[in-house]
Homo-oligomer: A and B are copies of this chain.
């Protein structure tokens, strides 16, 4: 079927001011309707012109309050529509689907093959080499995650930020050196609470609160935390024995220089040498991604070499790890304490580390999912991470989550499924059972060097520079998080950054964009005259586009801003001897919602303009706004003859009225 779309060219001059209104009206007239349409447009006759066709503003199908609430809640809590796949299935099929839903291992396990196994084996062994120093926490949690988790690339283990926060929060109350048993009890209990908190967030479908930590905030936070963690490693790197337990930049630096009598040159030489080597391998791998195994293997190699050196040397001035507990994770369920004076502290620590580790885990999971083009379910991830921590706290593990650096290694080592976590757990198990005594002579300085190498990669200067270029307020959030973490505390830094991010949203809502629109020649479209310099203002019309929901927080501003535009336009019209404004058209296309204060503001604006004999009409209100207008008295105030399908039709109708 050939489409016949012959349109006679219009012979008018949009720029000639006296005829402008009529010309614009003509341009705005929509083409006649096709033969088949669903509603009855009201034709309006004009002398010497074609038939103008008006379209009604529709209301969405009426819903009961209960149904509206249900739909709203579903969108808030179930945006992923998890029950969709269960529709139209037999009950046996549904059981399998449910099993696969709760235990993703059944999903990828059913399609597993030897080719995938080889990839996962290599990847699993690679990440195991990173995991040895925190061996216990890298055994039970990865096993649980491989059953429940929905990410294929996440490598599970303790992460520095959460460990750091937990350490600093617990140390304020209990010293790990003086009361090691109590400290361990509190740490496991806090881990348990972190797990409970994470799993409940997932169960209550509150996954979206993680979204409030913006990427800008995380960039600044990571940078600050990385510097703090690196500085704290100066303890090991310089061989200082008495060191502050605080985390602030100033406390740490004071400790470093106050204790310069404790600096150990042997330690410093060894540490600096290995640090240089580790950073070099990192550089090599970064330049040539095919050589990823150099930086991946370097930590384990450094541990082995330095242990051998230290065993030969037997210097007393280089502190070593000493006796490590041998054997599989001892059960620690009996160490969880839910009474006594430390409950509040452990709950607070649990929630704080829980939210921090959750954020990192989910952000990392999402990053790799987007690279490999699959979906990660935030709420399911929360439950997986939470259950993994609850189980971990009963098996001598600290808080664990998906670690960014390990997952990156896992991904570049070619992992295909969560089986790489099982491989890693198995490798760690072997180490725990048979290889632990070998680590007796491992110097602490090597662990410090490994940690520094890992965290400096988290400082994303280029990312911060990009923020500055694109969005100054995002950069402010980033730098506040950075400085807050560095100078005050981790919690305060995060709180400030989240506060700035929320303030930014509120600012946008309080002072929304309002733009004056003009007709784009050759179209029926009205656009901002600031953005489109070719846009032509329609004489005696003021067309204002509102680019935000209308709320109590901006309703007053809206009225004042429109009145200001009106004043400016009238002054301009007076100067150029044009006709004064007779009609204000509010383009409501971008007003996604309106509340009672917003409705009152519209009525007020209409009242004020009525007194000045200026018509106020609304163009293209969306469904929910139209619904609200007709639920309140405002709909009647405007009436259907002041609600238009589009700006073009509003202008056309207004022009008609003026010519009568």
Contact = CB atoms under 8 A, between A and B. Distances in A.
Interface of A: 1-15, 19, 22-23, 25-27, 29-39, 41, 48-50, 53, 55, 58-61, 65, 69, 75-76, 79-81, 84, 208, 211-217, 366, 370, 373, 375, 378, 466-467, 469-474, 501-502, 504-513, 515, 520-525, 527-528, 530-534, 547-549, 551-557, 560-561, 563-564, 567, 589-593, 595-597, 599-600, 604, 607-608, 611, 620, 622-624, 626, 628, 631-632, 645-646
B8 A80 contact: no
Given A32-B522, A211-B555, A471-B628, 11 more contacts: A3-B19, A4-B10, A5-B27, A5-B50, A6-B8, A30-B522, A31-B522, A60-B528, A515-B623, A530-B623, A590-B590
A556 B211 contact: yes
B611 A373 contact: yes
A148 B343 CA distance: 57
What are the 9 tightest A-B residue pairs by CB atom distance, in nearest-first order? Answer: A214-B552, A33-B522, A38-B534, A547-B592, A531-B623, A590-B590, A3-B26, A37-B521, A5-B26
A23 B8 contact: no
B506 A505 contact: yes
Contacts of A9: 31-32, 34
A596 B466 contact: yes
B214 A597 contact: yes
A328 B528 CA distance: 60
Contacts of A212: 552-553
Contacts of A511: 75-76, 79, 208
Contact of A624 (B75, B513, B532): B513
A161 to B, nearest CB: 19
Contacts of A589: 589-590
Nearest to A207: B556
Contacts of A563: 375
A530 B60 contact: yes
Contacts of A524: 30-31, 524
B474 A510 contact: no
Contact of A34 (B2, B50, B522, B527): B522
19 contacts: A3-B19, A3-B26, A3-B49, A5-B26, A30-B524, A39-B534, A69-B472, A79-B511, A211-B556, A214-B553, A215-B596, A215-B600, A466-B632, A467-B596, A469-B631, A512-B592, A513-B592, A515-B622, A547-B622
Contacts of A520: 55, 645
Nearest to A210: B556
A637 to B, nearest CB: 14
Contact of A531 (B25, B555, B626): B626
Nearest to A521: B37
Given A216-B597, A597-B214, A2 B48 contact: yes
A527 B623 CA distance: 10
Contact of A593 (B1, B80, B508): B508
B521 A38 contact: yes
Contacts of A61: 530, 533
Contacts of A513: 592-593, 622, 624
A592 B590 contact: yes
A14 B34 contact: yes
A531 B622 contact: yes
A156 to B, nearest CB: 22
B556 A366 contact: yes
A513 B611 CA distance: 35
Given A215-B596, A556-B366, A596-B215, A36 B521 contact: yes
Contacts of A624: 513
Given A30-B523, A79-B557, A531 B58 contact: yes
A57 B37 CA distance: 31
